Amino acid sequence: MLGGFILGAGTVAFAGLADSPWGYYGPILGKSYRNQATVVTGTDHAWAYTYVETTGQENLPAGYMGALARLYKSGTLCSQQGYTYNDTALAGFSEATFVNCGRGTYYSYGVTKAYNGNGYNAVFTFQSPSQNY
């Protein structure tokens, strides 16, 4: 899902990128969803992304979708920053977290949420393949 991105005004060097398989769920309030976790490693940091979208590419109102990016190093949670929700009508969006937890093996394993009319259904992504830096 991620073809490239910019952090600040600088250039980021990538060592590796790996996406989980898409996970499909729903319908919830008549909408079906899919989610995915991505891990990206650089020369001295690792990033985790969690992506959620409607399978029909339908825009949903603000607050209907949530994403929590979680970055793991060697099976231990290294970084997460809390859920982010779509703040405008969107068909999909991603949330990221990044950190330097030292050299090692990293993977992404996120959680997404879909509004059900009385709260949210939380659904885990599949775990991404591991990447080293």
Give residue 119's domain range.
14-98+106-132
Write the CATH number for 58.
Answer: 2.60.40
Average pLDDT over residues 74-86: 95
Per the domain annotation, does 2 fall within a domain? Answer: no
Per the domain annotation, does 93 fall within a domain? Answer: yes
pTM: 0.87
Q: Order of strands across the sheet with 76-80?
A: 76-80, 70-73, 105-108, 131-132
DSSP assigned state of 133? -
DSSP codes, 41-64: EESS-EEEEEEEEETT---B-TTS
Amino acid at 38: T
Count of structural domains within the chain: 1
Q: Which residue has the higher pLDDT, 99 or 37?
A: 37
Q: What is the pLDDT of residues 64-76, one digit of tens each?
A: 999 999 999 999 9
Per the domain annotation, does 9 fall within a domain? Answer: no
User: Phi and psi for 112 in degrees, rounded to 5?
Assistant: -125, 160
